Amino acid sequence: MDFTVIICTYNRKDNLEPCLEKLSQQQGMDGIDWEVLVVDNNSDDGTAEEIQRLANKLPITINYASETEQGLNYARNTGIRESKGRFFSYVDDDIIVSETWLSSIYETFINNDADAVGGRIHLDPSIELPRWVYSNPELQGFLGFQDLGEEPIRLDGRKNYPYGGNMAFNRRVVEKIGYFNPKLGRKGSGRKRSELFKGAETDYFHRLAAAGDAHIFYDPRAIVYHRVEAFQLEKKYFLTIHYNAGYQEAAHKIEEYGRSLLGVPLFIYPQMARAIYRYIILTITKGANFSFRQKMTVAHFLGVFNGYRNKKQ
């Protein structure tokens, strides 16, 4: 088989029909043998039955796999093992693909002998973003937004790499660097602090880059749209993902630092103090909406602090 589209899902069966319907409308795929594989990550909301209904309804091949170990990367790895395609891609169940999305990605693989391909992720235009997001356009990136411009480019896998909502791989990558790290990434629905972890694909692309001569490409024609959920537009969501990113960074840090206090390296303290001071000054001078991005940085440092402390205990 030429290509597998992998959708990992947990208790969001209502997202599946619009996602799969758009996949069924792909153009330019004549002569290309492809499938959709939906990985059910231990759902209890009737997801399995909904997948079967849609497999019977839609004019594309939809296969089902189950992964009972909770966690996005467990589901991603099951998708790799159960898929048949020479190339495979991941889209989230809240993603709507454009009609030439798949043909664009496939063409980029073939024309560039690519290891990995990604494209644009735009936010669903029907979403009304809060004012504090508009005050900090960078924040859209934390909602999955990615647009690297109008021209196709090669990415280095370190500073620039595809985001998880629109990324695809050559199967040889798995032979080269293995599977996704199941210790990283979202658990469950991502609504609780203990579930909301990002950075799983960052780790994977960094590993691919470290393996040497990684052929990673961005194709601007491969556009998808992210239907952001209401809870993802709350400030708590942004603060939590930054706190957890810091916690995870410290908890998995291999390096040992000689000088520490309460298990936290001494150099963390002045960095955190400067972050807090900058947040206070920005809040006073420019207001809470403008300073919110800096508040996220403070949350990250608090996560780092607690990650080191808990690792020491």
CATH superfamily of 3-233: Spore Coat Polysaccharide Biosynthesis Protein SpsA; Chain A (3.90.550.10)
- At a CB cut-off of 8 Å and minimum separation 6, what does 246 contact? 299, 300, 301, 302, 303, 304, 305, 307
SS3 call for 62: strand
Give percent above pLDDT 90 in the chain. Answer: 72
Lowest-confidence pick of 78-92, 130-144, 176-190: 176-190
pLDDT at residue 231, rounded to an integer: 87
Higher pLDDT, 63 or 201: 63
Query: What are the pLDDT digits (tens) for 205-242?
Result: 999 999 999 999 999 999 999 998 888 899 999 999 89
How would residue 272 be classed by pLDDT, with cut points 50, 70 and 90?
very high
How would residue 183 be classed by pLDDT, with cut points 50, 70 and 90?
confident
Q: Give the residue extent of every domain in the chain.
A: 3-233, 235-312
pLDDT at residue 119, rounded to an integer: 97
Lowest-confidence pick of 138-152, 174-188, 223-237, 244-258: 244-258
Three-class HEC string of 196-233? CCCCHHHHHHHHHHHCCCCCEEEEEEEEEEECCCHHHH
DSSP tally for the chain: helices H, then strands E? 10, 11
SS3 call for 122: strand
Burial of 230 (0-12, 13-18, 19+ CB in 10 A): exposed
Q: Is the pLDDT of residue 4 over 90?
A: yes
Question: What average pLDDT does this structure show over 10-28?
Answer: 95
Higher pLDDT, 99 or 141: 99
Higher pLDDT, 259 or 163: 163
Nearest Cα to Cα of residue 146 among 161, 133, 156: 161
Burial of 97 (0-12, 13-18, 19+ CB in 10 A): buried
Lowest-confidence pick of 29-38, 89-98, 240-249: 240-249
Longest dimension (CA), the chain: 63
pLDDT at residue 202, rounded to an integer: 87
